[in-house]
A and B are shown apart, each in its own frame.
Chain A
Amino acid sequence: MNRLAVLLLVLALLPSASAAVNVQVPGGYVSTAPLVLDDMVVVRSSATFDGRSPPAVVAYIGGVESWRVVGPPTVQPDMADLVHAPAGAAACGAWPDTLLVAWSSGRLDALRLDGTSLWSVDTEVDGWGLTATPVLTPSFLVQVTRHGIEHRCLADGSLLARAEIGVGWRNPATVLNGTSYVGDETGRLWTWHGGEEQATSIPITGRLRHAPVPVAGGLLLHTQEDAGSAVAWHPLTSNGTPSNASPAHRLLGGAAPGMPLGLGQDTAIIADSTGLLHMTWTPEGWRTEEVDSRPVNGPLRSEEGLLLASENGPTGGFVVLDLDGWRTHEVAGPRGYGTAPPVVCGSGLLLVKDDGRMVVVDDHRSTCPLASLTPQVDRSPAVWSLSLLVAYLVGAVAWKRRGALHGAKWASPFLLVALVLVLPQIGVWWANLGPAADPDDVWDPSWPASWEGGQVVAFELPSGQVAIGGLSEAETVLDATMAAAAATGLTLTVEQHSLGPWVTAVEGVEGQGWVVEVDGLLLGVGAAQGALEPEAVVVWRLA
């Protein structure tokens, strides 16, 4: 009987049973593949175009959202892949397991795997900032900025070397034997050996929006032309400098080229709106084979013997082909416009489309870290009601048969289950019954009068107060805080706890934790549970 009670208690406390794994990533478009680490899936989303939701990086651990870092606001999409830098050391210092996030606002963030900031640097912005994926080398990281290429220390983000190049967009570098190669929007292919040296360039046709692909001792480029696209191959000389394009290896392609993928010494795959083309280099020119006719305009990926891509169209699915024989695998999942390729996750595939629908398919062994994440069916009302009923029944029977202490013994576990489930609601209700502050003590006279009558959010940072008012009306403290962070350009770190999201750092500052006051009173519940009136003052302070 005792075991039965414990079993019932455990079952009641367990999260909802899983059905299908289907997650809506918060924020705007998701244009890059999620990053799958040992026990974590990290995904990034751009800001929404209406500015209501800032760009974000969200981590899911053990099936639930673990933390969220909100980036500086921008109207440009965030299209740089997230990069995991394993712990290591170089001459400039040592770093832990690190997640590199390049924001289109120009900020480059290095995050620890718990979402806290390791370092953060700002790069130049010219319309937009960073759109190129950071590239790792054993000694430093290579970051292509809006019109430069930089070597930065992974330990602290310090700038080791920099060279100017043409203005670029989504143009990561390729590093071969210490030399970086990168294209730009002005029709140049740049070569940089690092250090004090300037970058040199040669002309190419069109705009290069991918990392040059090493093939057969040269670099394959798939450039965006004024009409359609073109493939070029630039042989590398003995000192590593690219030569002019080989006429025999020039091909015209379809519109909107994707990011080609090198598959071996002499082979590569290119993609555009006409499909996928497998190309094998020969001295006389390319030997080509069309392997799929679906439009692909984003990155290509190869994992576990599969070629992976996202079909970009109103009902586009995903391209999953055997690398050996190009057999097509049908994949169920979200459909629509998208560029992020599928990612192998556990025994299944992790799929995401532009609209942020993220799905794990075919994960029969449920080994993907997202596998236990399910659409949360809020069954807590049923569970706590049932718990109260059971507490009454078993408590009454035990009391009648063996006395009050036994009654309490049998009733208390079920009462605890009920209390744990309703605690967030009770906490909100109870806190609202508490004492109120004097409104005159809440308002900061330095705030503009135009903010009065609306919601104001202030962050008391060690460097001073950052406040914003006049924002759209938010329903919860967390919503208002997120909107304020987006409007002011502050970075928030939000972790998921049992009582809901928890702000653990503002602008990378953690201190001994952050507390939030609403109208002068400390919030007694989580920020997501704290309801806001249309007129309210929210102040975040270090504890």
Chain B
Amino acid sequence: MTPPPAGSLLVATDLRKAYGPTTALDGAGFSIHPGEVVAVMGPSGSGKSTLLHCLAGIVPPDSGSITYNGREMATMNDAQRSALRRSDFGFVFQFGQLVPELTCVENVALPLRLNGVSRKEAERTALSWMARLEVDDLARKRPGEVSGGQGQRVAVARALVTGPRVLFADEPTGALDSLNGERVMELLTEAARSTNAAVVLVTHEARVAAYSDREIVVRDGKSRDMERVI
């Protein structure tokens, strides 16, 4: 197996994962550098979301290795992995990620509040991120009062508010029209690059993948790094 490039922040090798009789990952690998945007592509059911969940420490692989910043994730207990997800990882999904009872700014400030930051300080930081994502005017609205595209930008602001080193985005524009999807991708990648965050972008849309620096293709649980092939 080809060794991952030097300086990788997150590296996975020979990942295997099965759900009962169904094999989701069958020797998949992955690596990403700080500040890099990598698209994970593949048909439905190919294993790309499972790969993201394993990389993010949400689901443990049956075997294989995942190292984050030089540390083997299998050696961490659940509490340590949870702490890592809160401090170093950010998440954007396709649907239903904002808490409907909270205002948009409270949603964005939530990860900071969970980390013990005061309300005032958390909301100040949240507002600055909302301004970068061009949704600061929605601060006092609730998620039910904003459009899908606006809500997704709020979700991106929330994912970036803690200054994560890796942003995991699973079909982040899947529920948006072309124009809104495009704007979300522009703002997401600009914000991530400005903070040198790595972005793991799971998508089946080529126009979304075109915002990445390179792509890996997952098929039948196996991954293929196209940059190293060409």
> Do they bind each other?
no
